[in-house]
């Protein structure tokens, strides 16, 4: 493909945009959003600061693109899954995260920073947690309707417990230099709530 053609230029631009996102994920994960600089991300990406601004006009725009990209990739894992299958996919997500330290660091650092109402990702994380808890609650409720959930399990409470468990395990995993095996812990937690095999 000729990179001078519009299609070639578009492909090259998309590749550079993805490279910038990858470097931003790593830097935001290492030092947090507030301490990260666009100039450093541009240098790591092999472009000038104005070149980076061509792709992402503000630091906030870059941050939101990073977060949206992560959710888009993770969301593909749950396409078409409901009930017990959606709960099983959560275990798959934990397994996937165990191979993505930079992504886990990014999420952990930014979600903590974003508790401040003036943080540019505050609204993103408020909405994301609301959607996440609602989605997990729906998975538990559908598992219950299918007769797969133990009767003492309350879907709204179970959803909050599971999301808290997953986030807490990620922090422990990071602090212990990835030595904590998150997958069996999450699998055992969900399995104990089901009447059917996970």
Q: Which domain holds residue 69?
A: 59-191
Structure tokens at 137: 């609650």
Q: Which residue has the higher pLDDT, 40 or 10?
A: 40
pLDDT tens, residue by residue, 30-45: 888 888 999 999 999 9
Distance CA 10, CA 105 (A): 31
Paired with 149 in beta bridges are 194
Structure tokens at 149: 């959930």
Is 49 part of a structural domain of the chain?
A: no
pLDDT category at 100 given cuts 50, 70, 90 is confident
No. of helices (H) and no. of strands (E), the chain: 9, 0
Who's near 120: CB < 8 A, 6+ residues apart? 33, 59, 60, 63, 64
Is 39 part of a structural domain of the chain?
A: no
Is 27 part of a structural domain of the chain?
A: no
Task: Answer for the pair 120, 32: CB distance below 8 angstroms, yes or no.
Answer: no
Quick one: angle between helices 59-75 and 122-145, nearest 10?
10
pLDDT of 8 reads 67
pLDDT category at 1 given cuts 50, 70, 90 is very low
pLDDT of 6 reads 58
Is 47 part of a structural domain of the chain?
A: no
Q: Give me the mean pLDDT over the 4-19 stretch.
A: 76
Is 171 part of a structural domain of the chain?
A: yes
Is 3 part of a structural domain of the chain?
A: no
Task: Name which of 67, 66, 11, 21 is nearest 42 in CA terms.
Answer: 21
pLDDT of 4 reads 54
Entry pTM: 0.79
**Any idea which of 12-16, 118-122, 160-164, 182-186 has the lowest mean pLDDT?**
12-16
Task: Answer for the pair 113, 32: CB distance below 8 angstroms, yes or no.
Answer: yes
Task: Name which of 197, 93, 112, 90 is nearest 148 in CA terms.
Answer: 197
pLDDT at position 142 over 70: yes
List the CATH number of the domain containing 94: 1.10.357
Q: Give me the mean pLDDT over the 101-127 stretch.
A: 90
pLDDT tens, residue by residue, 157-194: 999 999 999 999 999 999 999 999 999 999 999 999 99
Q: What is the mean pLDDT of the chain?
A: 90
pLDDT tens, residue by residue, 50-77: 999 999 999 989 988 988 888 887 788 7
- Give the count of domains, the chain: 1
pLDDT at position 106 over 80: yes
What's the Cα-to-Cα distance from 68 to each of 75, 121, 129, 138, rounded to whole Å? 10, 11, 14, 22
Is 152 part of a structural domain of the chain?
A: yes
Give the single-character DSSP code of 149. Answer: B
Q: Is 196 exposed, middle or buried (0-12, 13-18, 19+ CB in 10 A)?
A: exposed
Q: Give me the mean pLDDT over the 118-134 stretch.
A: 93
């Amino acid at each position: 493909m000729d990179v001078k053609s519009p299609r070639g230029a578009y492909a090259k631009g998309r590749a550079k945009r993805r490279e910038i996102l990858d470097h931003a994920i790593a830097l935001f994960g290492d030092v947090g959003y507030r301490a990260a600089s666009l100039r450093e991300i541009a240098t790591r990406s092999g472009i000038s600061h104005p070149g980076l601004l061509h792709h992402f006009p503000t630091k906030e725009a870059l941050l939101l693109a990073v977060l949206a990209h992560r959710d888009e990739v993770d969301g593909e894992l749950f396409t078409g899954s409901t009930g017990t299958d959606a709960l099983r996919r959560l275990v798959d997500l934990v397994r996937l995260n165990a191979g993505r330290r930079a992504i886990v660091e990014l999420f952990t650092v930014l979600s903590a920073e974003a508790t401040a109402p003036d943080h540019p990702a505050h609204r993103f994380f408020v909405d994301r947690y609301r959607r996440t808890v609602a989605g997990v609650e729906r998975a538990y409720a559908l598992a219950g309707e299918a007769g797969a959930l133990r009767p003492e399990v309350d879907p709204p409470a179970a959803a909050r417990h599971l999301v808290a468990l997953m986030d807490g395990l990620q922090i422990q995993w990071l602090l212990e230099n990835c030595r904590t095996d998150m997958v069996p812990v999450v699998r055992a937690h969900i399995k104990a709530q089901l009447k059917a095999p996970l």
